[in-house]
Structure formats: structure tokens, C-alpha cells
């Protein structure tokens, strides 16, 4: 896959990179600070070989990395990860190299090895205070068979054993795997050792969603564990929506990651390289801060033929503007133990993915809080439609504590016919209306990605719809997150690619997880403050950006219109020719025009008026007049009309006197768009501001 990062070492006679400054330690200096028995079995006592950072104090709550040695579940020693542990402690991480039962010493099988690894993770989490670690920052690391048991602690259900408190989770929060065994069938390694149960603890056969972030190292010439296994595993993980990265060492065989402490002939080049990457992985997931101790100069790498300068992974925080923060919702969730969270947007919000993950995140972060989640995403809807349906779809559902809003992708659509002024009026209308109803509401504005936005960013410009929306966010001092720019720059940095990984503006499960991981970082940072002595207070609402913002948006039933013969109400409309119709818009009452030239009129009060009409393959044209003025033609046929009947919010007038009563008149025209197969006008509702 293009997202795999291939590390290419070149000789000094060719283009080359300067190897990492080696992090070398004299062999006899690497010894654990403590040996702790974590499990007693029939065969032996199992110990944790614990390494603490200098000046470690138990109240610091550090990240911990628990490592598992390789050896085909037959042999091996915890000393294999002493050098890695030594490096990690230099970075402020508590490092543990764990024992587990193997065949040569204990007469056991891989199943007992997995059970022991789970016991180790569980013991570490249960004894977090004793160790001075954060129980929610436990990383499982391992090589070969040790990589297998490390990943099994996250993927495999059961095999928990009876030691310790089994109600404590044995699942790590992250995984770092060095040439791991990932398929225990005949396509991988070790099938004869698990004969008859080949897929039971085979990671490739047990992949599921909601797995911890994972970093996999593998040599492309591995003769023990096929490189294909790693490629397949990473692909399966990404398809399930998990964050999983493959770093491939070109031409390297099994065990390339070992340093000179464990395998003197190896040298330290690839030990340094894997630990540098691991350091960046820990930083990316906010388990570690600072600069790696493995100092690197310019490193040339090859990502399937594209030479780049290799550097630290991008930080999601760079794409966040927390501004006044989310303190009101944090106080509400923490003290009242209740919360109402709404999600307003288009199809990216409607579809399952980031929204569901954010709901789970909030429930886990505030476990005692009773949440009411309002899913108000509707496909093909932008900021204008959001402003007018806000009351019906969101605000009428109760007092909203936290609102997520997105419209940047659909506001780019030619079918919606929005200009910069429209986008500001729509987005300001949403924000201002929401705050007028509840001035204590927290709001997060999201800018999602599409190919046109990537193209604009890559030209050194900012997409106009993002400038429009973020201008509103800045004016009202609300939180925003620029996922369009983040995805673009991560793709440019070869962390993943659009075609194979993200796939579409409706993201793949992997892409949805990219969105969520960034949102998780934003929420972590927004909710990290101590609000124990802080009161919920209303936010100041500034003057309007645009005098005609849609901040009083409402629906008006077509039943309030007056119409004569030629217009009629179809009480349960559905297409005669069985064309596709957007979900929810069949067998509903519509006001339908049958004859051209016949008039309908609607009296309304406000500065703007429009109608929601079904714009399908047979959409016609209307002509309309405001307050007896000149009639203007309006085409109901849009670029998407040939494919299905879509509800479209057509704005007809938007700069009227706010307090005056106005009259809208509409006639169906004799002519229609050349691409239309009919002349229909089907009105679902009117709207006004």
C-alpha cells in the first residue's frame, strides 16, 4: 500500500542519509530497577522486569510500555527488550519487559503465552498507583512471537486465566509490533503449534473495529514471518476503521530491530530507527512529549519511489482553535451528570463513523453522566439548510449543552448555489440562533475534506467556504477544527493516501477514524482544565457579522399558502416511474404544480424566504415575485437531479425588511431545463428568517 513507509538505507557512494546518532549503552549497565512477580503458575513464577525513569515518583502517572520477547513461543528472554526499555526510560516512560511461559522451559503452548501476556497487562493496570503509571496509557510492545502475544492482548477475546482481578481490562491502549506473527495458519507462522485451532489466536483472523492505535515494523525479506502477513493485517485494520501504520524495512530479514545489546552483530542502525519511529508514534497519540533522544540529521526515505525528508508526525493540535473552550459543557457533564449533545450537518455527520466514536468517547470520559445524543445529520445539506432546520431538528429537542456543526463540504457543492455571502449568513444564523436560545451552549465547528479543498490547499490557498465558516467561528469565539487541512497535510506527509485509505469525501472507516482521533485530541485538550470551582456562565454574543444572517430561521407549512387550480396537495407522494428518492421523502404530503401559469402565494414576515422542493429528473422551472415586483425565473433542476429526487433548499429572496409582512407569488413556467424530462414543482415546505 502507498501508505506503507519504506525505509531505504543507501551506501555512502550513492545518495545517502546520515544514520541516527546511536543511543548506545554499555551492555552491563542495562539492568532492571525492580523484578516483580505478577503471576504464579503450575510451572513457575512470572516476573516483570521494570525500568524506571531517573528521579521517578509514583504520583507522576507516566506512560508505560510493556514488552514481550520473541522466540516462537518456545524460548526467549526478557533481555531482548532491555535496550528498548533503557531508551524509553530516558524519555520519561516506565518500561517493563515481561516474562511469559514458553514450551522449552514450561512445556506450554502459544495459548498459555497469550494468557500470560494478558495477565501482565491486567496486573500493570491494576497496580498503576504502585508503579506510578497512567492506567489508560499502557502500550504493548513485542517482537516476533512476542509481537503476537502483544497484539493478542488487544484483539483476542477470552484466554484471561484466573490470576488477579479479571474485571480489570487486559487490553492495552496502544501497540508497537516488531516483525510480529500475525497469521497462525499455513499462510503465516506457527500453524503446527496451534494445530486444530489455527485461527483462534490468529490476529489476521480476529481483526475488529475500535482497536487501539498500532505501529507495525516488518522487513520486506523476512524469511520467518511473511511480509505479506503484515501488509494484510494493516489493510484489515484500516478497513475496520483502526489507526494502523506499517513501517517496512527494505531488504531486511527477521529480527532486524534488535540492537547491539541483544544481538551484537546487528549494529544499532535499525534499533535506532525503530525506536525513533516508536517515539513519534507515542507523541502522535499524546502518550509522550518532547524531542526523541535519538538525534537524527536529514534522513532520506523511499515511499514507494517518492523521496521525502523524514520527520516527526504531524500534530493534530496544529489544526485546532479551541478559543473560549468547552468549559460549560464540561461543568454540566461533571456536576449535573446529564448532557445533551447534538450533531448538525450533512451526510458525513449522518453516516456512522466519527459521530458514533465521539458519543462513545464522551460516555467513557464522563462515565457517570446520562447523555442524550441528537443525530441531526441529513445528506446533501449545507449551512443555509442548517440555519432553517435548526429549530425543528435540534433546538426543539431540549436544552443543548454541546453542538457539533459541519457544512464545508456541501457548501462547496454547485447544486446548492451558495456564494460567500450565503455561507456566512447560513453559518452565522446557526451559531447566533443556537446561542440566542441557550447562551451557555458550547459549539464545535468542523471543516471536513474533499478533493477540491485538497487541491486548493496544495496551491497555497485556503478554500473560500472554510474562510467563510471560520470567520464566523472567530467572530463568535467558538471552537473550530480544520480536518480538511489536517487530512491534506497528512497525505502530503505520506502518513496515508486518499485512494487506498481515505477513499472518498464520505470517508472509509479508516478515514472516519482519522477524523475521530483528531476530535479526541481536541476534546482531551478542551476538557483537561480543572472546573471544580468554576460556574457555568453565558457567553457574550457579539454584534452581527452580516445584518441579514439567518438567525431566526423557521419552517412555514405549505398549507399556509393560497393556491388555485393547477396546484394541488398530494397527500402521499411517490414517484410513478420508481426513480430514486432521498430517504424520508416518499409517501409524504407535497404541494404539486400541474399546470403552467397558475399562481400560488404565501404571506410571511422576515428578511428571507425560500422553499424546500424535490429536485428530481423531471424538475421544472418557476417564476416568482416578491411584494408585487418583477417576476424572476428560477430553475429547480440541479446537477444531481438526473440521479434522484433530492430535497433542495432554494433561497428566493434574502435582503428584505425584517419586520415587514411580505407576499411571495410563484408560477410554474412552460419551459424547463433542457436536461429535465418534465416540468414538475413539488414543494415540501417553505422557510423564512
Residues 6 or more apart from 173 whose CB is under 8 A from it? 136, 137, 138, 139, 212, 287
pLDDT exceeds cutoff 80 at 423: yes
Mean pLDDT of 463-477: 97
**Average pLDDT of the chain?**
89
**Percentage of the chain modeled with pLDDT above 90:** 71
Q: What is the residue whose three cell numbers read 509522550?
A: 288
Confidence (pLDDT) at 199:
94
pLDDT exceeds cutoff 90 at 509: no
Confidence (pLDDT) at 167:
84
**Structural domains of the chain ordered from first start:** 5-313 (3.40.50.1820), 318-526 (3.40.50.1110), 554-688 (2.60.120.260)
- Band (pLDDT 50/70/90 cuts) for residue 494 is confident
Backbone angles phi, psi at 340, to 5 degrees: -120, 120
Confidence (pLDDT) at 24:
43
**Percentage of the chain modeled with pLDDT above 70:** 93
State how far Cα 50 lies from the chain centre: 34
Q: Residue 443 and residue 329: Cα distance in Å, rounded?
A: 9
DSSP 645: B
Confidence (pLDDT) at 313:
58
C-alpha grid cell, residue 261: 545489546
C-alpha grid cell, residue 97: 519487559
Mean pLDDT of 431-449: 98
pLDDT in tens, 252-289: 889 989 988 988 887 787 888 889 889 988 988 889 98
C-alpha grid cell, residue 183: 497469521
C-alpha grid cell, residue 443: 459549539
DSSP 519: H
Torsion on CA atoms 474, 476, 481, 485, rounded to nearest 10: -30
Backbone angles phi, psi at 219, to 5 degrees: -85, 135
DSSP codes, 296-340:
----EEEETTEEEE--PPP-GGGGEE-TT-SHHHHHIIIII-EEE
Q: Which long-range contacts (CB under 8 A, 24 or more apart) does 363-368 make?
A: 365/523, 365/527, 366/333, 366/334, 366/339, 368/337
pLDDT in tens, 23-35: 444 445 899 999 9
Contact by Cβ (8 Å): 244, 216: yes
Strands (E), 325-440: 338-345, 370-377, 402-406
- Band (pLDDT 50/70/90 cuts) for residue 349 is very high
pLDDT in tens, 284-314: 888 998 878 764 432 333 222 222 233 445 7
Residues in the chain: 689
Count of CA atoms in the C-beta half-sphere (13 A) of 415? 22
Give helix then strand counts, H and E, for the chain. Answer: 16, 28
Q: Residue 64 and residue 140: Cα distance in Å, rounded?
A: 9
Q: What is the residue whose three cell numbers read 472518498?
A: 504
Output 102 or 16, whichever has higher pLDDT.
102
Local structure of 61: helix, strand or coil: coil
Contact by Cβ (8 Å): 284, 244: no
Residues 6 or more apart from 584 whose CB is under 8 A from it? none
pLDDT exceeds cutoff 80 at 111: yes
Residue 427 host element (H or E): helix 420-437
Amino acid at each position: 500500500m502507498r501508505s506503507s513507509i519504506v525505509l531505504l538505507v543507501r551506501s555512502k557512494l550513492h545518495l545517502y542519509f546520515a544514520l541516527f546518532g546511536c543511543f548506545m549503552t554499555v551492555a552491563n549497565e542495562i539492568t532492571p530497577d525492580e523484578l516483580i512477580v505478577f503471576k504464579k503458575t503450575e510451572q513457575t513464577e512470572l516476573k516483570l522486569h521494570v525500568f524506571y525513569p531517573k528521579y521517578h515518583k509514583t504520583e507522576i502517572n507516566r506512560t508505560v510500555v510493556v514488552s514481550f520477547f520473541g522466540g516462537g513461543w518456545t524460548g526467549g528472554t526478557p533481555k531482548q527488550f532491555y535496550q528498548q526499555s533503557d531508551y524509553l526510560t530516558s524519555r520519561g516512560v516506565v518500561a517493563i519487559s515481561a516474562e511469559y511461559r514458553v514450551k522449552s522451559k514450561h512445556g506450554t503452548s502459544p495459548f498459555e503465552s497469550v494468557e500470560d501476556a494478558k495477565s501482565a497487562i491486567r496486573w500493570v493496570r491494576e497496580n498503576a498507583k504502585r508503579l506510578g503509571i497512567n492506567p489508560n496509557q499502557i502500550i504493548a510492545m513485542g517482537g516476533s512471537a512476542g509481537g503476537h502475544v502483544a497484539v493478542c492482548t488487544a484483539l483476542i477475546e477470552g484466554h484471561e486465566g484466573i490470576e488477579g482481578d479479571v474485571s480489570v481490562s487486559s487490553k492495552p491502549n496502544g501497540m508497537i509490533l516488531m516483525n510480529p506473527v500475525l497469521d497462525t495458519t499455513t499462510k503465516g507462522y506457527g500453524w503446527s503449534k496451534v494445530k486444530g485451532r489455527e485461527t483462534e489466536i490468529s490476529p489476521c483472523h480476529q481483526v475488529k473495529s475500535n482497536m487501539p492505535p498500532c505501529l507495525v515494523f516488518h522487513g520486506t525479506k523476512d524469511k520467518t514471518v511473511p511480509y505479506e502477513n503484515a501488509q494484510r493485517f494493516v489493510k484489515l485494520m484500516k478497513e475496520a476503521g483502526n489507526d494502523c501504520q506499517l513501517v517496512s524495512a527494505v531488504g531486511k530479514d527477521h529480527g532486524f530491530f534488535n540492537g547491539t545489546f541483544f544481538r551484537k552483530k546487528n549494529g544499532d542502525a535499525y534499533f535506532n530507527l525503530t525506536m525513533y519511529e516508536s517515539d513519534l508514534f507515542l507523541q502522535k497519540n499524546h502518550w509522550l512529549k518532547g524531542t526523541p533522544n535519538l538525534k537524527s540529521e536529514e534522513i532520506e526515505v523511499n515511499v514507494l519511489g517518492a523521496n521525502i525528508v523524514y520527520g516527526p508526525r504531524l500534530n493534530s493540535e496544529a489544526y485546532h482553535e479551541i478559543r473560549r473552550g468547552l468549559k460549560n459543557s464540561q461543568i454540566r457533564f461533571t456536576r449535573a451528570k446529564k448532557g445533551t449533545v447534538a450533531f448538525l450537518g450533512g451526510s458525513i455527520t449522518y453516516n456512522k463513523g466519527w459521530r458514533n466514536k465521539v458519543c462513545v468517547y464522551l460516555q467513557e470520559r464522563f462515565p457517570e453522566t446520562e447523555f442524550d445524543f441528537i443525530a441531526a445529520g441529513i445528506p446533501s445539506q449545507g449551512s443555509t439548510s442548517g440555519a432553517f432546520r435548526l429549530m425543528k431538528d435540534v433546538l426543539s429537542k431540549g436544552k443543548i449543552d454541546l453542538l457539533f456543526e459541519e457544512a464545508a463540504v456541501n457548501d462547496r457543492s454547485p447544486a446548492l448555489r451558495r456564494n460567500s455571502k450565503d455561507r456566512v449568513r447560513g453559518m452565522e444564523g446557526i451559531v447566533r440562533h443556537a446561542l440566542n436560545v441557550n447562551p451557555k451552549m458550547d459549539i464545535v465547528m468542523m471543516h471536513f475534506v474533499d478533493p477540491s479543498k485538497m487541491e486548493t490547499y496544495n496551491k497555497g490557498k485556503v478554500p473560500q467556504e472554510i474562510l467563510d465558516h471560520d470567520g464566523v467561528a472567530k467572530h463568535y469565539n467558538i471552537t473550530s477544527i480544520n480536518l480538511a487541512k489536517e487530512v491534506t497535510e497528512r497525505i502530503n506527509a505520506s502518513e496515508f493516501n486518499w485512494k487506498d485509505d481515505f477513499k472518498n469525501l464520505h470517508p472509509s472507516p479508516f478515514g472516519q477514524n482519522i477524523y475521530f482521533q483528531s476530535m479526541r485530541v481536541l476534546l482531551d485538550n478542551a476538557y483537561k482544565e480543572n472546573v471544580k470551582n468554576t460556574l457555568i456562565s453565558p457567553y457574550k454574543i457579539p454584534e452581527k457579522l452580516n445584518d441579514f444572517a439567518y438567525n431566526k430561521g423557521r419552517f412555514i407549512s405549505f398549507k399556509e399558502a393560497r393556491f388555485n387550480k393547477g396546484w394541488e396537495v398530494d397527500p402521499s407522494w411517490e414517484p410513478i416511474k420508481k426513480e430514486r428518492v432521498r430517504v424520508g421523502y416518499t409517501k409524504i404530503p407535497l404541494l404539486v404544480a400541474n399546470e403552467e401559469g397558475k399562481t400560488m402565494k404565501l404571506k410571511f414576515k422576515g428578511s428571507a424566504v425560500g422553499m424546500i422542493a424535490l429536485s428530481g429528473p423531471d424538475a421544472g422551472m418557476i417564476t416568482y415575485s416578491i411584494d408585487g415586483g418583477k417576476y424572476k425565473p428560477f430553475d429547480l433542476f440541479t446537477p444531481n437531479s438526473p440521479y434522484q429526487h433530492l430535497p433542495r433548499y432554494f433561497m428566493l429572496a434574502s435582503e428584505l425588511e425584517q419586520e415587514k409582512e411580505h407576499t411571495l407569488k410563484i408560477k410554474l413556467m412552460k419551459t424547463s431545463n433542457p436536461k429535465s424530462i418534465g416540468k414538475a414543482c413539488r414543494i415540501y415546505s417553505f422557510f423564512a428568517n
